[in-house]
Amino acid sequence: MSRTCVPTDTITRPSSGPSSPLLVIGAVQRVTTTPRFTSNEDSPDGRAPATTQGHRVARVTDATTGPSSGGLPGAGDAPIRAPELDGAIDWLNVDTPLTLRALRGKIVLLEFWTYGCINCLHQLPGLKRLEVSHPDELVVIGVHSPKFPNERSTDNLRRVVARHEIRHPVANDADFRIWRAYTVRAWPTLALIDPAGYLVAGASGEGHLPQFDQAITAVTHVFEERGELRRGPLSEARLEPTPPLGTLAFPGKVALDAGRDRLYVADTSHDQILIATPAGRTVGRIGSGRRGADDGVFAEASFSRPQGMAVRPEDGHLLIADTGNHLIRGADVETGRVSTLAGNTNQARRGAAGGGAATTSISSPWDLAQIGRLLFVAMAGVHQLWVLDVDRGFMFPYAGSGQEARQDGGLDESAFAQPSGLAWHGDILFVADSESNVIRAIDLPPVNQVRTLAGGDLFDFGDVDGVGDTARLQHPLDVAYHDGALFLSDTYNHRIKRLDLETRRVTAFAGSGKPGFRDGRGKRARFYEPGGLTVGGGRLFVADTNNHAVRVVELETGAVSTVIGPDSVQTL
């Protein structure tokens, strides 16, 4: 069953369609109402925002001339003053809340985002490049307007800021007051404000940062000539803590090679793979810890925020989703060398057709499943499942139209929303479809059909046990199969859940539902945004991401213990 209707009081995100064009306000024709950042999405309160009639989409390079009546000059229409940044419940990376009045003389770029959104994460490297290119005149502000209840927490947001090494100020717009003031309707959305405090340009979706770079250069030129540009660092800046220096930093996924007594942990924020025994003894590391995409021996190779892994059963070689590099890598455990199997470091856009593995662009591969000679890839960045034939060097989309939605059916008509976790048994591939808040199943060839096992929809989430569509999850990131059931990392509910494949009943299995770090039995234990899962020897291994730990759940008893991670653990 596919459901696309949402309540009018629900914050929504576009499930399909291209990102909006760059709307330049004041370059050729000044608009006179609050700009609408075009997308397919409804506003937070369900009401359509004020539309801008007759606006003209102009090239950013047009935004360089005109009278000095405020903002970038237009064609005689009144300029639009940017709304003040009122209503955030907290600010990160600054000592005091920022105001546009205090930032007068600076160019300000607002990014409206939510931290579970892959499209928002894709923009972070580009925003950093803008900050480097315009260090004295530009202030980037992340306005975090959360989709999920779990994302409202400043503590959780602070960990995301550390995980992704975000250095610019971040406003926790948990009540959507800034979002509504700017009539934003999509994640991500950008709004550019000139040194006089007027809106210059806005766009929703990915892919606009090069044009914004041009716009910032143009604004700099105009206001420097006027003597109205204020250069220098932001005096209010105060950086939040960076990723920890311990054994693990925000581990994303785990993989087990029980036959060779090896547990692999994607040490995501350290840009490495930790090699350990299932008992937790460290054996070694894959990767230098320097962020990059270098092949070579384990000590010299480099990764960028690796996530999912799969062990090739015939030789024990490790296949790695090098998420931040948009690559699939291979680690030869016999020779101790890393090679690139697929991708070219360029991020694929929607509609990519596949082709030769070495030349095909892919997008944020998040998890892997080796089935026979084929490697299935959860391609989170384009909302699809792909297949890599390593031996033949060919890669292609397998399931999903590329629209962001919950849609069952044939491979081409089906749709996913940021698939993030994979498991398989027999001729069925199981998918944690994180942004749809559901668990999916794909009946492999010759059936080739996608169906939903349990959960809600894009904006139908919660923490509710139940059967099939009555169960509610919140951003599940992984699945693992064991003895007729799936175990789920219900990430934003801080729980491990069990899905009976015969009855489709979902029940809480381990974790209290509150974030924390505590060993114990069943619901007495606590996790903090658990991510990757793998099963072996009657035990479930869990990448407990925000606890920088690997936990183990005994599947017979539900007892939770810690095998890798912080030393201080409270046991009940």
In a domain? residue 11: no
Whether residues 392 and 404 fall in one domain: no
Say if residue 341's pLDDT is above 50. Answer: yes
In a domain? residue 473: yes
Q: Are 173 and 251 a contacting pair, CB within 8 Å?
A: no
Which backbone phi and psi does 259 adopt, to 5 degrees? -65, -25
Confidence of residue 243 (pLDDT cuts 50, 70, 90): confident
- Domain final residue, candidates 396, 425, 446: 396
In a domain? residue 201: yes
Whole-angstrom CA distances from 499 to 447, 466, 496 are: 23, 10, 10
**148: CATH:** 3.40.30.10
pLDDT tens-digit readout, 277-324 = 999 999 999 999 999 999 999 999 999 999 999 999 999 999 999 999
Number of domains making up the chain: 3
Where is pLDDT greater, at 534 or 7? 534
Q: What is the mean pLDDT of residues 334-345?
A: 98
Kindly tell me the burial class for residue 53, based on how many C-beta atoms sit within 10 Å of its own C-beta (0-12, 13-18, 19 or more): exposed
Q: What is the mean pLDDT of residues 405-427?
A: 98
DSSP state of 179: H
Whether residues 30 and 66 fall in one domain: yes
In a domain? residue 188: yes
Whether residues 389 and 406 fall in one domain: no
Whether residues 413 and 439 fall in one domain: yes
Task: State the pLDDT at residue 7.
Answer: 26
**512: CATH:** 2.120.10.30
In a domain? residue 47: yes
Say if residue 250's pLDDT is above 50. Answer: yes
Q: Are 24 and 62 a contacting pair, CB within 8 Å?
A: yes
Kindly tell me the burial class for residue 166, based on how many C-beta atoms sit within 10 Å of its own C-beta (0-12, 13-18, 19 or more): buried
Q: Which residues contact 201 (CB under 8 A, 6 or more apart)?
A: 22, 23, 24, 25, 27, 60, 63, 190, 191, 192, 211, 212, 215
pLDDT tens-digit readout, 38-92 = 333 333 443 323 222 222 222 233 333 222 223 333 333 568 999 999 999 999 9
Q: What is the mean pLDDT of residues 422-449?
A: 98
Nearest-angstrom CA–CA distance, 166 and 178:
20
Whether residues 259 and 215 fall in one domain: no
Nearest-angstrom CA–CA distance, 175 and 47:
16
Task: State the pLDDT at residue 48.
Answer: 29
Task: State the pLDDT at residue 317.
Answer: 96
DSSP state of 526: B
| DSSP SS3 for 213 | helix
Task: State the pLDDT at residue 240.
Answer: 74
Whether residues 213 and 335 fall in one domain: no
Q: Are 440 and 424 a contacting pair, CB within 8 Å?
A: no
How many CA atoms lie less than 13 Å away from 250 in the CB half-sphere? 19
In a domain? residue 41: yes
Say if residue 239's pLDDT is above 80. Answer: no
Whether residues 392 and 414 fall in one domain: no
- Domain final residue, candidates 356, 371, 396: 396
pTM, two decimals, is 0.88
Confidence of residue 23 (pLDDT cuts 50, 70, 90): low
Write the DSSP string, 300-314: T--BSS---EEE-TT
Q: Are 243 and 270 a contacting pair, CB within 8 Å?
A: yes
Nearest-angstrom CA–CA distance, 427 and 425:
6
- Which amino acid, 359? T
CA-based nearest residue to 424, from 480, 483, 487: 480
Whether residues 311 and 183 fall in one domain: no
Whether residues 56 and 76 fall in one domain: yes
Whether residues 69 and 145 fall in one domain: yes
- Structure-block tokens of residue 545: 């991401």
Say if residue 192's pLDDT is above 80. Answer: yes
- Domain final residue, candidates 362, 396, 430: 396
Nearest-angstrom CA–CA distance, 101 and 224:
19
Q: How far is CA 338 from the centre of its chain?
A: 25
Nearest-angstrom CA–CA distance, 325 and 257:
25
Confidence of residue 17 (pLDDT cuts 50, 70, 90): very low
Exposure string of 8-25, with b = 16+ CB inside 10 Å and e = fewer, is eeebbbbbeeebbebbbb
pLDDT tens-digit readout, 514-570 = 999 999 999 999 999 999 999 999 999 999 999 999 999 999 999 999 999 874 444
Average pLDDT, rounded, for the chain: 87
Domain range for 264 is 251-396
- Structure-block tokens of residue 443: 């009946």
Q: Which residues contact 178 (CB under 8 A, 6 or more apart)?
A: 83, 85, 86, 87, 88, 110, 112, 143, 145, 171
Strand partners, 109: 140, 192
Name residue, tokens 């340009």: 201
Least confident window among 64-73, 124-133, 452-461:
64-73
Q: Are 550 and 536 a contacting pair, CB within 8 Å?
A: no
In a domain? residue 243: no
Where is pLDDT greater, at 28 or 161? 161
Task: State the pLDDT at residue 237.
Answer: 72
Task: State the pLDDT at residue 5.
Answer: 30
H or E stretch including 220?
helix 209-226
CA-based nearest residue to 544, from 557, 523, 526, 559: 526
Whether residues 161 and 261 fall in one domain: no
Name residue, tokens 């369900």: 46
- Structure-block tokens of residue 110: 């607002």
Nearest-angstrom CA–CA distance, 499 and 428:
15
CA-based nearest residue to 236, from 297, 326, 168, 187: 168
Confidence of residue 349 (pLDDT cuts 50, 70, 90): confident
In a domain? residue 244: no
CA-based nearest residue to 34, from 311, 43, 349, 498: 43
Whether residues 196 and 298 fall in one domain: no
